[in-house]
Amino acid sequence: MKRDPAILLLAVGQTLAWASIYYVFPALLLRWEQDLGWSKADLTAAITLAVLVSAVASPVTGRIIDRGYGATLMAGSAAVGGLGLFALSFIETQWQFYAVWLVIGLAMSGCLYEPCFAIVTRARGIDAKRGIVLITLVAGFASSISYPVVYSLSELMGWRGTVQTLAVLAVLVVVPILWFGGRLLETSRQTDLPVTATQGPERGFLKQPAFWFLGLGFACLAVTHGAGLHHLLPILDERGLSPEMAVLAASFIGPMQVAGRIAMMASEKILSNHGVALAAFTVMGSSMILLLFSGASPGFLAGFVIFFGSSYGTVSILRPLLAREILGEAHFGAKSGALALPYLAASASSPFLGSLIWEFGGYDLMLPVLLGLAVVGCGLYWQAHRLAAAQTRPD
């Protein structure tokens, strides 16, 4: 693929945005539990609130993107996220902790994958896949950067100094990169898609059953991924792994996401997007089984990292591509934002739901529940694909 400055800028910007604004929560969860003395449920309720706010705001951000203000949206949201991180370093009470994460959640709705991919799809149309793949290949290393950097900085200056450092990174580095990348995309937009009779009005897709099956299917996968990710360090700690080994394992999830995306590209001529989606659901469910037995052998832990990372690595690419295939590309910003609502709501609830299940039956109960959700999600997605195929099949 020829060099594309806009896509390259967004790839770097997304990597740093995810590393500083999103992954800081799972990377600091154990330290907050130890330093602040709050329970896992109390702490994870904050990220639940943040992602829920992001979900509620996502349809609005989609409409902002459809009106051509994507660059301003991403840059402004990253700035708000950086200010939220700075405020986080001064919290003392739970209500302050929740208030700050509410603000950060609002920032997430405008500067992470959802708006970025909507901007790319709106600007590049059928050629968007190449740009999305490149962005995710680079940004897949966000967790690999965040976990060890946050761990090292926390050892050196404590968690408060760490989030202040990340706040400076977000405001001074991420903001201008996202603005310039988004602006280049907007000024070089190649598509100006009309609304046709078959595509319907702006919100007509909400009446399509395929929309709801697709949204709920990926929402199930979001719960599986979100709970597994945010509880990963406590899960491995419970299974007797050292903090260094747990951080090392978590750091390799990012490279495995990249590996999954490369494998997806390599199998492009063999597997359709539909086939890759079915594989992603299957492999994600299998990773929960491996994590369940991760304390028994390093091989199970390695298998979990490979399966968990690679399967979710393909999902971030598949979601916008399958949304376009199943729902069409007219008003894509609105469709992307609406699909993000159940997905992000599920992500929002996943850490807190994981904590509740843990309190009831420990991680030995939580992981089988997550496996079951992956199976249900696969069935829902299958139904969405079947309905879309029936609509396009000639009589």
Domain residues for the domain of 360 are: 5-392
Per-position DSSP letters for 361-380, written without gaps between them: H-HHHHHHHHHHHHHHHHHH
Both tokens of residue 13? 């910007």
pLDDT in tens, the chain (395 residues): 457 899 999 999 999 999 999 999 989 988 999 999 998 878 988 988 888 898 888 888 888 988 889 999 999 999 999 999 999 999 999 999 999 999 999 999 999 988 998 898 888 876 777 888 889 888 878 888 898 999 999 999 999 999 999 999 999 999 999 999 999 988 876 544 443 333 444 566 677 788 889 999 999 999 999 899 888 888 888 888 888 888 888 888 878 888 888 888 788 778 888 888 999 999 999 999 999 888 767 888 999 999 999 998 888 778 877 877 787 666 666 777 778 788 878 877 887 888 888 888 888 899 999 999 999 999 999 998 888 777 665 44
Q: Would the pTM count as exceeding 0.85?
A: no
283 vs 279: CA distance, rounded Å: 6
Q: Tell me the pLDDT tens digit for each residue of 116-139.
A: 988 988 888 767 778 888 898 888
Q: What is the pLDDT of residue 192?
A: 47
329 vs 194: CA distance, rounded Å: 10
Question: How many residues does this entry show for the chain?
Answer: 395
Q: What is the pLDDT of residue 195?
A: 39
Total domain count for the chain? 1
366 vs 352: CA distance, rounded Å: 12
Q: What is the pLDDT of residue 189?
A: 67
Q: What is the 3-state secondary structure (H, E, C) of 192-203?
A: CCCCCCCCCCCC
Per-position DSSP letters for 76-133, written without gaps between them: HHHHHHHHHHHHHTT--SHHHHHHHHHHHHHHHHHHSHHHHHHHHHHHHGGGHHHHHH
170 vs 164: CA distance, rounded Å: 10
315 vs 313: CA distance, rounded Å: 6
Q: Which residue has the tokens 């994460």?
A: 101
Closest CA to 222 of 101, 351, 310: 351
Per-position DSSP letters for 297-340, written without gaps between them: -HHHHHHHHHHHHHHHHHHHHHHHHHHHHHH-STTHHHHHHHHH
Closest CA to 49 of 2, 96, 93: 96
Both tokens of residue 20? 């500083």
Q: What is the pLDDT of residue 331?
A: 64
CB 368, CB 237: distance < 8 Å: no
| CATH number of the domain within which 55 lies | 1.20.1250.20
Q: What is the pLDDT of residue 348?
A: 75
